[in-house]
A and B are shown apart, each in its own frame.
Chain A
Amino acid sequence: MYVVVAGGGKVGANLVRSLIEMGHEVTLIEQRRDRFDKLEQEFEHQVQQGDATEVFVLERAGITRPPDILVAATGDDEDNIIICQLAREKYAVPKVIARVNDPRNQAHFDLLGISPTVCATSSLLALVEHEVPEHELVHLLELRKENLEIVEVLIDADSPCVGKLVDRLPLPEGSQLISVVRNGQAQIADGDTQLQAGDQVLAILQTGKEDELRRVLLKA
């Protein structure tokens, strides 16, 4: 595959190194001269210097072929959004992937239809939340393109679902329980699984069904 990567910081450079090892054809674009000089020693002709939001820089990097994938991995969210919009809408790149630096900017990527996105901060935060004992509902994974998300719910003693069989739960349409972790033992949730206080339940659901699921599994 031919991949263009914009931004040669730690994320971009490590990505490019791995892609080259896997045998892919890659062009990396880095704006900063000092970074570019270092990257050039390692990647030689596979790195170009310039601002990847400038169309002539993108064109020099082969964006008109077009590449199979463009990854916008700069440390600037505005730049990543513009790079993805130009790639997809001006040059018909079939797939763009964007790095989100500040999770508060996620809504802007979503608004402009830039997907998939990867935000290290959000991923770390979800993992930290997962460790907090009092958490009630944690987002573990968002499948934006599929419009699905996987959440973890901690069932407490007051929950309306305690003692009920999964079959009998009025789960919202477009949601399903995946597994139950009880006393450190995981089991796949089926219709005969009876929920207990202290269970950690994994559920998959359509985006937007979260509040309905919360009402069924947690306090009303």
Chain B
Amino acid sequence: MNAIVIGCGRVGSNVAKRLAREGWDVVAVDEKEEALGRLGESWAGGFVVGHGMDVDVLREAGIEQADAVVVSTDGDNTNLVVGQVAQKRFGVDRVVVRILDPARAEFYESRGLRTVCPTSTAIDTLTDVVLAGSTAEPAEAR
């Protein structure tokens, strides 16, 4: 199975490494060549330097054969556009994008783009811990 991970920062690089460990053929894409270093010295997958908005870069990364595309650059709007391009232009079935703004994540999710919003997760978890009161304290703190 082939996957492309666009945006090879803290999130993208670890997604790429985990997918590779699970036996996927992974190509990572990042604007900065230094991002390759995040994948570790033993990285055996592909790496393309370029911007996800650039269709030539997507093709070089093998989007026409990709089974899955993960979009996790640091720009919400870039992720939303690149995700839609992967879905609508290249017909990739499994596209998932990381979106930090909960409002945009919710809207695009409702339009059929799979989104993951770490901000929403943080809000829920932080609130839940507070509301759960003392039972949420770690055992050793008692």
Contacts and interface: CB of A to CB of B under 8 A. Distances in A.
Interface residues of B, number: 18
Contact of B103 (A56, A76, A77, A107): A56
Interface in B78-102: 78, 80-81, 84-85, 88-89, 101
B117 to A, nearest CB: 14
Interface residues of A, number: 19
Interface in A27-68: 53-56
A55 B53 contact: no
A90 B105 CA distance: 13
B76 interface: yes
A111 B104 contact: no
Nearest to A58: B103
Contact of A112 (B53, B75, B88, B104): B88
A77 B104 contact: no
A145 interface: no
B21 interface: no
A114 to B, nearest CB: 10
Interface string A88-102: 011000000000000
14 contacts: A55-B107, A76-B77, A77-B81, A78-B80, A78-B81, A81-B81, A82-B76, A82-B81, A86-B107, A104-B55, A105-B53, A107-B55, A107-B89, A112-B81
Interface of A: 53-56, 76-79, 81-82, 86, 89-90, 104-105, 107-108, 111-112
